[in-house]
Structure 1
Amino acid sequence: MIKKLVLVFIAFTALLTHAQEGTASPYSFYGIGSLKFKGTVENRSMGGISIYNDSIHMNLRNPASYVGPNLKILNNESRLVKFTVAGSHTSINLKADSGSDKTSSTTVDYLALNMPIGKFGLGLGIMPYTSVGYKLENVNDNNKISNRYRGEGGLNKVFVGLGYKITNKLSAGIDINYNFGNIQNSSIKFLYDGDGNLVQYQSREENRSDLSGLNINLGLTYRTMINEKLELQSGVTFTPESKVASNNSRTFASIIINEQTGQEIVVNTIDADLVAAGLEKTDLTLPSRFSFGAGIGEPRKWFLGAEYTFENTSAFSNPIITIDNTAFVNASSFSLGGFIVPNYDSFSSYWKRLTYRAGMRFENTGLEINNETINEFGISFGVGLPVGKWFSNANLGFEVGKRGTTNQNLIQENFVNFQLSLSLNDRWFEKRKYN
């Protein structure tokens, strides 16, 4: 199994590095792209809550979840090794006062592994952190293109974490994250003659930022039985503010555009002197983040919880790019969700052993454009399908929602997300017994 995991990890890393365009949102134009949900399909199907932990699923948002109690099925001697991988597809209907359009994107979401080490638990993996993918155009009074903007890339995260079981009820953990990637964007200014015909040469500006940096994520989990049936689970996470180094380049070019094919033919180029402007090497500020939540449920039967997240987005800065009429303010989100399992050990009905999930979330993204706050709302559903041995399962997720508004000439996104993950479990460590 280890060899298979290594091959999957290498393939996933190559795919993530060379195919980073995991969004089609116009709002990825701002900052360093659209923030990706840094949790599992199981979390996302419950409105995004990350406070629930069990013995067969990973929780990628709280490193304290890397540890847990030994299992009775393993003679209370060890825990399972967990492996998970996921991907998603998003369809977006774009709506504005001037018209509407449709777009879509498909992306890999994460690959991760969790191994028990006594009272410790080791977690490691890779996932996208932000994603950039937009194609935007402005038109003039004559209904002809005046500007065209394109962007791609994003920031990825490789993490290694360690959880520690302080008591049977309380655990703590830390993730160390290495963030890396690049963001590329271009803008073309279209020029016309007195008769409204496109002139021969257009001007294009291209920017590229290569990003890298470290940050950490701290977590606590607490779980206890309230009575013989009900269990309380709670969690807290904190990510301190950090810096990401950005190596930047900017090029100006005169181009000829084939009006039939859209092909851009470069006539000449000139590199901007970012050294003189003090912009060749800059630091981006990634804001701090704090979340807490709690919920109750009956183990292996049902759970209901809520979680609140605050992000100090007003501290975000990117010196290389400034955009008029745009500001970053503090972001927040509220999630509510849970699951139900009709009968987890039913022999007569496979459907009764399924896990049915649902939830909703409300989010202030922290982005303000033309004094309009960009909010997001989503309703999610999901199901966990048992497969194989050791309680491995496939998880399907579905979410519908909207982001943004049509006020102030902005764009409203009505989106539908489909997610699929595999949560695989195995026993690698077994005590030898002698008669």
Structure 2
Amino acid sequence: MTKAQHGLNSIYSAFGIGDLETRDYSRNFGMGSSGIGYRPLGYLNEQNPASYSGLPQMNFMMDVSIRGQYITYQGNNISQNAGDLNFKRLAVGFKAAKWWGVSAGVTPFSTIDYKILSKQYITGTGQAVQGVMTGTGGLNRAYISNGFSINKNFSVGVSTAFLFGPKEISQTMGSDSIVTQNNSYTFKPNFTAGAQYSAKLSKVWTLGLGATYRFESKMKLQNKVNIVNQDATILFTQDETSTYFTLPTEFGGGLSLSNGKITWLADYRHQKWNGLNDKGTGYYYQDGERYSTGIEYALQKKYYNRTYEGMTFQAGFSYTKSPLVINNTAVSDKSGTAGVSLPSKNGQLRYYIGVEVGQRGTNANGLIKENYVNAVFNFSLRDIWFLKRKEL
């Protein structure tokens, strides 16, 4: 059985390279993490690297996001809960030229966090002891993204990312103080291309269309086995044969419709997992899909005949068909979101709070159903840089 202790602690993170991140922890969060077809002026949108061509000139932007999470786990003879607080995003961006926007950042790409308790039998005795397996780690994504304006309506972009991180699995038997550690590490570049088209439908309404394509990456996992005692002293270590895991191509499309006050977004993403990676015991991969949509309403303020964005309010929904199939049962995730953004008095800072309530998995066929609440806190700095002073 599984038993929640801390953090995400999801049994679904025990497969492959962990629990893949599908959410965007910027201001897109409250709109179902949609944004492929949107080119915002006031924040950094990594959903589509082409969007950075729309960053305002002489502005430097920085985003920091953290997430608080509370989960209830339900299954056969299981009723547990857990909560945690994690860093989720650090990003900076600026306009390098009139036609060129740049952003760089780091964010989690996958998470491994689980604990499994099971009965194991000692050979020749028939005596049962409790086995404990814990998994931690996951991949991080560090990236540099560039967006280029081709003309006033069309832009393209590319995100160059580096996926890196450890996968650590520890096993103990009964009261034995000896721990067997199976550790893996990988480092692999990955690329995502994007395009956006934006045009006026009327004097006030603007339509945005976007598309993205993430290229396939075959990751080499360098494996090592350590046997350690309770004092963390290594008693034995050995390098194992490297294994491989293929991250599939992903394509996505999105649209936006905005008049400055009201913005509506909708996205679709598809991951080509089918036929990739070997089937494991009791599980395999199928193509994954994600649908999302959201709406935002922005209050506006006028200052010296110029219009500025005030408070904003958001609502959204998302549905994800996970590529992971366990015991011939597909794993799905559905959630509703809401968010609010508030400017500081001087306008340089914005404070954002997003909330998500959802459910993942099922109780059928020995699986675990997760009911969760996520709260995202985002702080955005927007400062004027590169401004040349004129001497009188």
In the superposition, the TM-score normalised over structure 2's length comes to 0.88
Count of residues paired in the alignment: 376
Q: 2:224 maps to what in 1? A: 249
List per-residue Cα deviations over 1:89-109 (Å, max 9, x = no partner): 111100002120011221111
- Residue 83 (structure 2) pairs with residue 104 (structure 1): yes
Once the two structures are superposed, the pairs formed by residues 275-424 of structure 1 within 5 Å of their partners are 279=241, 281-299=242-260, 301-314=261-274, 316-317=276-277, 323-345=280-302, 353-390=310-347, 392-424=349-381
Change (3 A) 1:29 1:389: same
CA contact (8 A) 2:55 2:101 kept: no
1:425, distance to aligned residue in structure 2 (A)? 0.5
Equivalent position amino acid for 1:161 in 2: S
Q: 1:83 maps to what in 2? A: 62
Q: Structure 2: which 5+ runs fail to align?
A: 1-5
Percent identity over the alignment is: 26
User: CA separation in 1, counterparts of 2:258 and 2:129?
Assistant: 56
Equivalent position amino acid for 2:145 in 1: G
Higher fraction of strand: 2
User: CA separation in 2, counterparts of 1:53 and 1:387?
Assistant: 23
User: CA separation in 2, counterparts of 1:311 and 1:401?
Assistant: 22
User: CA separation in 1, counterparts of 2:205 and 2:388?
Assistant: 33
Q: 1:212 maps to what in 2? A: 187
1:39, distance to aligned residue in structure 2 (A)? 2.3
CA contact (8 A) 2:29 2:354 kept: yes
Equivalent position amino acid for 1:312 in 2: K
Q: 2:155 maps to what in 1? A: 171
Segment of structure 1 superposing worse, 167-176 or 39-48: 39-48
1:272, distance to aligned residue in structure 2 (A)? 5.5
Equivalent in 101, 107, 111 of residue 121 of structure 1 = 101
- Residue 49 (structure 2) pairs with residue 63 (structure 1): yes
Equivalent position amino acid for 2:14 in 1: F
User: CA separation in 1, counterparts of 2:379 and 2:42?
Assistant: 11
1:245, distance to aligned residue in structure 2 (A)? 2.6
1:343, distance to aligned residue in structure 2 (A)? 3.4
Find the residue that maps to 1:313 and give its secondary structure. coil
User: CA separation in 1, counterparts of 2:189 and 2:60?
Assistant: 27
Change (3 A) 1:23 1:241: same
- Residue 197 (structure 2) pairs with residue 222 (structure 1): yes
Q: 1:16 maps to what in 2? A: none
Once the two structures are superposed, the pairs formed by residues 188-203 of structure 1 within 5 Å of their partners are 188-190=172-174, 201=176
Equivalent in 207, 212, 216 of residue 232 of structure 1 = 207
Find the residue that maps to 1:341 and give its secondary structure. strand
Q: 2:34 maps to what in 1? A: 49
CA contact (8 A) 1:55 1:80 kept: no
User: CA separation in 1, counterparts of 2:22 and 2:301?
Assistant: 28
Q: 2:114 maps to what in 1? A: 134
Change (3 A) 1:268 1:183: closer
User: CA separation in 1, counterparts of 2:157 and 2:133?
Assistant: 42
Find the residue that maps to 1:405 and give its secondary structure. coil
List per-residue Cα deviations over 1:145-202 (Å, max 9, x = no partner): 6432101111111111211011111111111111111110123344xxxxxxxxx758
User: CA separation in 2, counterparts of 1:358 and 1:386?
Assistant: 19
CA contact (8 A) 1:89 1:418 kept: yes
In the superposition, the TM-score normalised over structure 1's length comes to 0.80
Change (3 A) 1:343 1:267: closer
User: CA separation in 2, counterparts of 1:307 and 1:250?
Assistant: 42
Higher fraction of helix: 1
Equivalent in 15, 19, 23 of residue 30 of structure 1 = 15
Change (3 A) 1:95 1:177: same
User: CA separation in 1, counterparts of 2:26 and 2:189?
Assistant: 25
Change (3 A) 1:201 1:146: closer
Change (3 A) 1:159 1:22: farther
Find the residue that maps to 2:325 and give its secondary structure. strand
User: CA separation in 2, counterparts of 1:305 and 1:63?
Assistant: 17
- RMSD over aligned Cα, in angstroms? 2.7
CA contact (8 A) 1:92 1:416 kept: yes
1:291, distance to aligned residue in structure 2 (A)? 0.8
Equivalent position amino acid for 1:104 in 2: G
Equivalent position amino acid for 2:116 in 1: L
Find the residue that maps to 2:138 and give its secondary structure. strand
Equivalent position amino acid for 1:339 in 2: E
1:430, distance to aligned residue in structure 2 (A)? 2.0
Find the residue that maps to 1:66 and give its secondary structure. helix
Find the residue that maps to 2:152 and give its secondary structure. coil
CA contact (8 A) 1:286 1:315 kept: no
1:23, distance to aligned residue in structure 2 (A)? 2.9
Change (3 A) 1:137 1:425: same
CA contact (8 A) 2:26 2:63 kept: no
Q: Structure 1: which 5+ runs fail to align?
A: 1-20, 71-77, 191-199, 256-263
User: CA separation in 2, counterparts of 1:83 and 1:94?
Assistant: 36
CA contact (8 A) 2:293 2:317 kept: yes
CA contact (8 A) 1:293 1:305 kept: yes
User: CA separation in 2, counterparts of 1:109 and 1:165?
Assistant: 29
Change (3 A) 1:434 1:106: same
Find the residue that maps to 2:28 and give its secondary structure. helix
CA contact (8 A) 2:25 2:376 kept: no
User: CA separation in 2, counterparts of 1:91 and 1:81?
Assistant: 34
User: CA separation in 2, counterparts of 1:400 and 1:378?
Assistant: 6
